[in-house]
Structure 1
Amino acid sequence: MKTTVSTHKLPGYGATLRTAKRLTEQAVRIVNRAVPGRMPDVEVTLTTERGMAELAAAATLALVGSTDRKATSRAEREAKQVARGVLACAIPRPDGSALVLVIADKHRDDGEFAVTLVHELVHAMQFSRKDVVERLVRDKRDALGIERQSRRQAREFLHLLEQDEREAHGKEHLARQIVPAAAA
């Protein structure tokens, strides 16, 4: 399990990057012990809202294996919409690792960052479980208009996605072990 922390189109955030590296190292250790599964190699990237949309679209297209122009524009549009409403996102990669994109400007303090990081690392652990990545790929291919999935598969995906989100929210309390002031 290898962990890297970097920035993307975020100049002048040296202190934030150092803090992120320290918090990520601690969060990976804690989440690895508390959540069932195997922690994959994780790349945490601090970025802006626009940078998150750009990187998320590229990672999604690499995951679904599409270079179709229509799918590319849909992925970019969806990534921009998602980036407006979230603090971070975790995306599995074809090589088995996970990409965690964090919008640095939307976090007021270390405690909020730690909660977000723990939440996304729980999702990274979920990617190692049986059939999770396959379900995500199938749903993304359907959303991008590449390959249809049945209604039953779509309902099952939404149910399991809700379950995964509940688990991630339930583990946010672990952030208090990293930053005691973290409010989960």
Structure 2
Amino acid sequence: MTGNVTLHPDGPYFLRRTVARLLPDAVHLVQRHMRETMPTTLVRLAHPSAFGPAVAEATGGAPTWWRATREREHHRRAARDAQGLTVPTADGGALVLLHTAAMRDRDEILPTLVHELVHVVQMGRPATAADALARNRHHLGLEHRSRRWLADHDTAITRDEEEAYRIEHLLTAA
């Protein structure tokens, strides 16, 4: 698709076609504004029930059935309010999951792509990617993090989210 950002071939045809058309512009906007490296990225249209398994697969580990089920349910519930989710992958890339039902409003597709691609650039920052991967592995029971570490990471997530919303608004406000 665009450099190192590709669109997964699954998903509703018309939505996939619209995302494919807007994705190069979104990548260009974000890279020009942030001037940081964007890791190899796969953009995938998915139903919220697929978010949990995709996150588990991206961590590169094999969680227990119970942990995988809990993660799937957590992401399914959280995805109702979210339009997208960006996670680092164990191989150093990023995975962007776009909630198919939330993408039905065509006016929200470009802002959502920009927002998630800002998170992709953030995942290109070594500490951010490592911490996000460690948190996902903690939630899947593959490694342990202290409550203090998790609280500090929540602060970092809030900071990254604020940056993503600020840049999304700056680049897509008409």
TM-score for both structures, normalised by structure 1: 0.81
Counterpart of 1:166 in structure 2: which amino acid? E
| CA drift at 1:163 | 0.3
Gaps of 5+ in 2: none
Show CA shifts across 1:144-174 (max 9, x none). 3333212321121011110000000001121
1:47 alignment partner in structure 2:
46
Structure 1 unmatched runs, 5+: none
Change beyond 3 A, Cα 1:94–1:32:
same
Q: Which residue number in structure 2 is paired with residue 116 of structure 1?
A: 112
The amino acid that maps onto 1:85 is D
1:95 counterpart (91, 94, 116): 91
Q: Deviations over 1:5-46 (max 9, x none)?
A: 2353x4xx4332222111111100110111253111221112
* Alignment pair present for 1:104 and 2:72: no
**Contact kept in structure 2, 1:36 and 1:125, CA below 8 Å:** no
The residue that corresponds to 2:7 in the other structure is: 5
The farther-off stretch of 156-165 and 127-136 is 127-136
The number of aligned residues is 171
Displacement of 1:61: 4.0
**TM-score, with structure 2 as normaliser:** 0.86
Map of 1:39-78 to 2, 5 A cutoff?
39-49=38-48, 53-63=49-59, 65-78=61-74
Question: Is 1:175 paired with 2:172?
Answer: yes
Further displaced range: 120-129 or 84-93: 84-93
Does residue 152 of structure 1 match 2:154?
no
Match of 2:31 in 1: 32
Displacement of 1:108 in angstroms is 4.5
Aligned residues with identical type, % of pairs: 31
